[in-house]
Amino acid sequence: MCGIVGYVGARPALSIVLDGLRRLEYRGYDSAGVAMIGDGALLTCKRAGKLGNLEKALTEGAADDVTAGIALGTTGIGHTRWATHGGPTDRNAHPHRSTNGRVAVIHNGIIENFARLRAELEAAGVEFVSDTDTECAAHLLEHELASVRAEETARSASPSGGARGAEPSAGLAAAMRRVCQRLEGAFTLLAVDVDTPDVVVGARRNSPLVVGRGQGENYLASDVSAFIEHTRDAVELGQDQVVLITPDRIEITDFDGNEAIGKDFHVDWDASAAEKGGYDYFMLKEIAEQPRAVADTLRGRLGEAGELMLDEMRITEQDLRDVDKIFIVACGTAYHAGLVAKYAIEHWTRIPCEVELASEFRYRDPVLDRSTLVVAISQSGETMDTLMALRHAKEQKARVLAICNTNGSTIPRESDAVLYTHAGPEVAVASTKAFLTQLVACYLVGLHLAQVRGVKYADEVGAVLTQLQAMPAAIEQVLETMEPVRELGRELARARSVLFIGRHVGYPVALEGALKLKELAYMHAEGFAAGELKHGPIALIDEGCPVICVVPSPVGRAVLHDKVMSNIQEVRARGARTIVIAERGDEAVRPYADHLIEVPPTPTLLTPLVTTVPLQVLACEIATARGHDVDQPRNLAKSVTVE
C-alpha cells in the first residue's frame, strides 16, 4: 500500500523517482504524484489513476514552468497512493504542500488523530485543500519549521549562543521530529523544503522505509526494489526514527533527536530479478520460479553438526525446549501456510499449535507467556495486522519467530528469530512463490523444534529434509503438465461460482485455491473442509457446479483418501462437475473425476507444495480469460500497511 520514493544527488531526480514508483506499483495504488526542487522552486504534479496519467500530465505540460522546473530538479520525492482518507482524486493525491507552498510531504499509513489536528489547524486559520490525513502533516511541518528556524535565529543572535549555528539542513529534520511527536497511528513520511534544496527527510513509525546508499547520491523508499538498479547497499531504519539524506550524508535520529545507528545490509538480488523476464505477467513468472524459490529456501540449512539453522536466532535452545504452546499468526495466503504448518508442527513436535488470523489475535486476549512461541508469517514483513499481533505477543513476554521474505522489513527486525524465505522479490499482488516458500520455512521450523527438543533424531530430520530436497523437481513436473489446466481455466471462465474441498493439509490448499480465484477472477469461490460439506455448504451444489477436490495420497493415510473419495461422490450425486487433483497412479479416483489433474507422489505433509500449483495456474488463466490484470487485481495492495 502506498509506494514512497525519495532521491537526492546530482542526476535529474524525476526519472529516478518515476522509475522507483514503477517498481513499487505492485504494492497497489490509485493515484500518483511527485514533488521536485528545481531551479529554486518546489514544484508538484499529481494525478488520479495509474502512473501513466501522471507521466502524461508531465509530458503534456512540457512547455510550462512547472514541468520545466520539475525536469531540472535533482532532489525529489514521489508517491503512489492507496486511498484511505478521501477518494482517489487529483486533489487527494500526494504530495501535499503546506500553506506557503515551501514544504511538500508524502505519506504511507494512517494518522489516527488527524481529525483533532485538522480542527486545531483550521481554528488557527489554515485552509485545507484535500480530504487527506496527510495534509495535516504538511501544515504542521511548515509551522514547526518556522519555530525551529526562529529559535535558531534567536540562539545565534544571543550573546552567549550560536557562534556556531546548527547546520541549516538540520532544521527540516528537527521540525519533522516535532511533527512526529504529535502524530498517532502508523506513518512513513518524506518531506522536502525549498529552502534546503539538497535534503530529503524521512520518518517512520510502523510503516516501511529503507535508505539506499549511493555514491554522491542517496535514496529513500518503501522497499529496496525502488532503487535496486542504482544501489544494492541499503540501511534498515528502526521504529520511531527520522532520517535526513543529502547527496553525501545519511543521518538518523530517534524522535527525540538522539543519534541512532541504522543497520546496513546488502541486497542479494538485482534489478533483473524484479523484471518480467519474457512473461506477460509477473504472476506467471513467479509461478514458474517456484522450483528455484523452494530450492533457495532450503539451501544451506544444515550446520556442521547436522543441526538445522535459521537465519537469525536470538532465542536460546533452552527457551525452545521450554516452549509449551505455539501460535501462528498471519493474514491471507500466509495464514493458509500457517494452517498447513499446524499439521506438520504438531505431528513432529507434539507441541499444541494454534493458527490465528493476525487481525483477530490481539483483540481476543490470547493466553500467552514466556513459554509460548509465536510464529509470524509474512511475505512483505510489513503487514500491519501481523506486526500488531507480534507486538502484542512480545508485550506478553512470548518469543516471536518470523518467517519473512523481505530483508530489512519490520516484522523480522522486531522478532527474536528469523527464517527468511528466499523467494526473491514477489511483485504480483497475489502470492504464489512466497506461499510455497512459507510452507518450506514452516516445515523447517517444525523440524528445528523437533530436533532441539529431542523429539526427532538427526537421521529422522535428515529423512524429511531429503524429501524436501526432492520437492523442487516435483514442482517442476507439475509445471510441465499445466496445459490441460489452462484449457480448463478458459472453460471455467464462464462459471458463476467454484467450490474447493480438501481434508487435512488439503483443506488449507482448498482455501488457498479459492482465495486465488476470488482475488484474481473476481468470482465467487469458497474452500471447505470436505467433511464439513454435509453440515451446510452442500446446499450450494447444483447441476454443473464446478467443485475442485484436493485428494490426499492413497499411500500412508488411506483413510483420509477414502473419506475424500466419499465426499467427491456426495457432490457428484448432486450434479457437481468434479475437478480432481490427485496423486499420479491413484486409479481409484479416475471414475469420479470429470477432469483429473495429476501431481507426483509426495509424502502427505508435503503435498501442498505440489497440489497448490495447479490451483494458482487455474486462477491465473480464468482471470486472464475474463480480461483481468492478474498482477494488480482491483482494490488490493501487495503490502497491507494499515489495520
Task: Point out the residues that are catalytic.
Answer: 2, 638
DSSP letter at 308? B
Q: Minimum CB separation from ligand F6R for residue 332, in Å? A: 2
Does residue number 640 form part of the binding site for ligand F6R (CB under 6 A)? yes
Please compute, for residue 379, the number of CA atoms within 13 A of its CA located in the half-sphere on the CB side.
29
Q: Which residue's CB is nearer to ligand F6R, number 31 or number 383? A: 383
The CB-nearest residue to ligand F6R is 332
Size of the site for ligand F6R (CB under 6 A): 14
Q: How far is the CB of 228 from ligand F6R (least distance, A)?
A: 19
Encode 565-621 in three state secondary structure: HHHHHHHHCCCCEEEEEEECCCHHHHHHCCEEEEECCCCHHHCHHHHHHHHHHHHHH
331 interacts with ligand F6R by CB under 6 A: yes
**Shortest spacing between CB 273 and ligand F6R, in angstroms:** 18
Query: Is 31:47 a contact under the CB 8 Å cutoff?
Result: yes
Of 76 and 381, CB closest to ligand F6R? 381
Contact track, ligand F6R, 366-395, x by CB under 6 A: ------------xxx--x--x---------
| Residue 233 cell numbers, joined | 547497499
* Minimum distance, C-beta of residue 49 to ligand F6R, in the bound complex (Å): 23
Which of 43, 176, 310, 334 lies at the binding interface for ligand F6R (CB under 6 A)? 334
Residue selected from 78, 262, 332, 527 as contacting ligand F6R according to rule CB under 6 A:
332
Rounded to 5 degrees, φ, ψ at 205 are: -140, 115
Separation between Cα atoms, residue 627 and residue 341, nearest integer Å: 35
Residue 407 is a binding residue for ligand F6R (CB under 6 A) = no
Contact by Cβ (8 Å): 209, 186: no
131: nearest Cα among 173, 90, 177, 182: 90
Q: Which stretch binds ligand F6R (CB under 6 A): 63-71, 150-158, 283-291, 332-340?
A: 332-340
Least distance (Å) from ligand F6R to the CB of residue 431? Answer: 3
Shortest Å distance, C-beta 399 to ligand F6R? 20
Burial class of residue 634 in the structure, from the number of CB atoms within 10 Å of its CB (0-12 exposed, 13-18 middle, 19+ buried): exposed
Closer of 383 and 578 to ligand F6R (Cβ): 383
Binding of ligand F6R by 511 (CB under 6 A): no
Please report, as a single letter, which amino acid is at residue 637.
Answer: A
Q: Which stretch binds ligand F6R (CB under 6 A): 94-102, 331-339, 413-421, 450-458?
A: 331-339
Interface with ligand F6R by CB under 6 A: which range of 10-18, 106-114, 206-214, 325-333? Answer: 325-333
Asked if residue 333 binds ligand F6R (CB under 6 A), the reply is: yes
Are the C-beta atoms of residues 616 and 432 closer than 8 Å to each other? yes
Residue among 387 and 530 whose Cβ is closer to ligand F6R: 387
641 forms part of the interface with ligand F6R (CB under 6 A)? no
* Segment contacting ligand F6R by CB under 6 A, of 158-166, 244-252, 328-336, 477-485: 328-336
DSSP-based three-state secondary structure for 210: strand
Cβ proximity to ligand F6R, 243 vs 515, nearer residue: 515
DSSP label at residue 535: G
Amino acid at 494: R
> Which residues, 414 to 473, sit near ligand F6R by CB under 6 A?
430-431
For residues 549 and 563, give the distance between their C-alpha atoms in angstroms, rounded to a whole number.
12
DSSP secondary structure code for residue 396 in this structure = T
Site for ligand F6R (CB under 6 A): which residue of 217, 296, 416, 519? 519
CB of 643 to ligand F6R, least distance (A): 12
Please, which residue, 226 or 545, has the CB nearer to ligand F6R?
226
Provide the sign of the torsion angle of the four alpha carbons 444, 504, 614, 492, taken in this order. negative
- Ranges of beta strands (E only) in 452-545 are 497-502, 524-529
Q: Is residue 631 involved in binding ligand F6R (CB under 6 A)?
A: no
Residue 239 Cα distances to 253, 371, 399, 492, 530, angstroms: 11, 26, 19, 47, 44
CB 320 within 8 A of CB 504: no
Residues forming contacts to ligand F6R in the complex (CB under 6 A) are 331-334, 378-380, 383, 386, 430-431, 515, 519, 640
